[in-house]
Copies of this chain bind each other. A is one copy, B any other.
């Protein structure tokens, strides 16, 4: 049942409708004042409806997160409705009723359309400004319209990927094709990329045959290695949701290892797309910590460096200021020996055993991709975190208007 890696193809022009058994749509429902697309639907035609999800670890959770966590306890989903233009977070019991009413409306519209569906089979995701109630007349009208716009072809997935954008400048989607089965996905998010779960909304689809437990295993493993290690500004959204739906339409059952690998590859690619389009980004930065006594220590140290404003502003200025990296790693609550730490920028050693290397101040960091590697030299464990620089544009995007 195992295929060779060379039999796979990763295509960025495709998304959630690349696997068989899925339709999707994206429309402008009038939720956004701009008139841009703001409502998306992903529909699983079956024959299977297995699903899994991972959610924000923020204690302040938006109504759609609370709803979707509940419906996913069944391990089954027929549809996901997503809106941009409002997070429906910090909106109290009224906001939760709005989410519930949205799921009911999707179920009714799909039933009218010909597929008997219950609200408990409908996940809801929202993104946008925290604290405002959604314009429910527009949401409910949009739900009635969108079921008639669903396409199984690639345009359906593309429309959906556009409709979930907020401050994103480009849609993010990708599909990984195996000979007999496919995994597709779309994601949005460029701001609240997070410590515990990055971003964002992400819907993954596959036509593989897989039990909910198998999907859950693959999704948690992949999220921990990808979205969880994308840290743009240390902020963690109230709405972060990643869902994985399996239609079984390929009638092919991959091994757990192959499923794990495919979901990881799709998440990793979406993660790279999110990093490249993060708010205000001028440089894509990967911070790798190696030689740690544990992977946890390596990850903690990489995260502290990736979040450090002084490191991030230095990278923006193309300044090889390795002392700020040392100062950051010294704040991490991990085991380390300051006299054994080495640092390199894009492969050039700038600090060895805690002391600067001659010429370190002349290392060229003008390229858009910056690799910061810190070797603690006290163990064998390593971990990497993706981040970006801290630029004028980041400040502008986050200060000039409410988002």
A contacts, CB < 8 Å to B: 58-61, 87, 89-92, 129-132, 191-192, 195-196, 233-238, 307-310, 313-314, 316-317, 319, 321-324, 326-332, 336, 338-339, 341, 351, 353-356, 360-361, 390-392, 394-396, 398-402
Whether A399 and B355, one on each chain, are in contact in the complex, defined by CB atoms closer than 8 angstroms, is no
CA distance A169 to B235 in the complex (A): 31
Asked whether A354 and B313 contact (CB < 8 A) given A61-B338, A402-B319, the answer is no
**26 pairs, CB–CB < 8 Å, chain A vs chain B:** A58-B331, A59-B330, A60-B326, A60-B330, A87-B323, A90-B326, A90-B351, A91-B356, A129-B323, A130-B326, A131-B356, A132-B356, A192-B310, A192-B327, A233-B309, A233-B310, A235-B328, A235-B331, A238-B323, A309-B394, A317-B399, A390-B395, A391-B395, A391-B399, A392-B396, A394-B395
CA distance A398 to B310 in the complex (A): 6
CA distance A90 to B314 in the complex (A): 18
Whether B237 and A327, one on each chain, are in contact in the complex, defined by CB atoms closer than 8 angstroms, is yes
Taking CB atoms, residues of chain B closer than 8 Å to A336 are 59
Whether A399 and B326, one on each chain, are in contact in the complex, defined by CB atoms closer than 8 angstroms, is no
Taking CB atoms, residues of chain B closer than 8 Å to A341 are 60
Asked whether A131 and B92 contact (CB < 8 A) given A191-B310, A331-B58, A395-B391, the answer is no
Whether B398 and A395, one on each chain, are in contact in the complex, defined by CB atoms closer than 8 angstroms, is no
- Extra A-B contacts (18), CB below 8 Å, given A91-B355, A131-B360: A59-B330, A59-B331, A60-B354, A89-B326, A92-B354, A130-B323, A130-B327, A131-B351, A234-B308, A235-B310, A235-B324, A235-B327, A235-B331, A236-B327, A238-B323, A314-B399, A321-B402, A391-B395
Number of copies: 2
Asked whether A90 and B356 contact (CB < 8 A) given A234-B307, A327-B236, the answer is yes
CA distance A154 to B135 in the complex (A): 65
CA distance A330 to B240 in the complex (A): 13
Whether A330 and B130, one on each chain, are in contact in the complex, defined by CB atoms closer than 8 angstroms, is no
Whether B238 and A326, one on each chain, are in contact in the complex, defined by CB atoms closer than 8 angstroms, is yes
Taking CB atoms, residues of chain B closer than 8 Å to A390 are 309, 395, 399
**Closest residue on chain B to residue A320 by CB atoms:** B402
**Min distance, Cβ A358 to any Cβ of chain B, angstroms:** 11
Taking CB atoms, residues of chain B closer than 8 Å to A59 are 330-332, 336, 338
**Min distance, Cβ A296 to any Cβ of chain B, angstroms:** 16
CA distance A353 to B394 in the complex (A): 31
Whether A130 and B395, one on each chain, are in contact in the complex, defined by CB atoms closer than 8 angstroms, is no
Taking CB atoms, residues of chain B closer than 8 Å to A314 are 398-399, 402
**Min distance, Cβ A87 to any Cβ of chain B, angstroms:** 7
Residue in A237, A308, A332, A354 with the greatest tally of chain B CB atoms within 10 Å: A354
Whether A316 and B399, one on each chain, are in contact in the complex, defined by CB atoms closer than 8 angstroms, is yes
Taking CB atoms, residues of chain B closer than 8 Å to A130 are 321, 323-324, 326-327
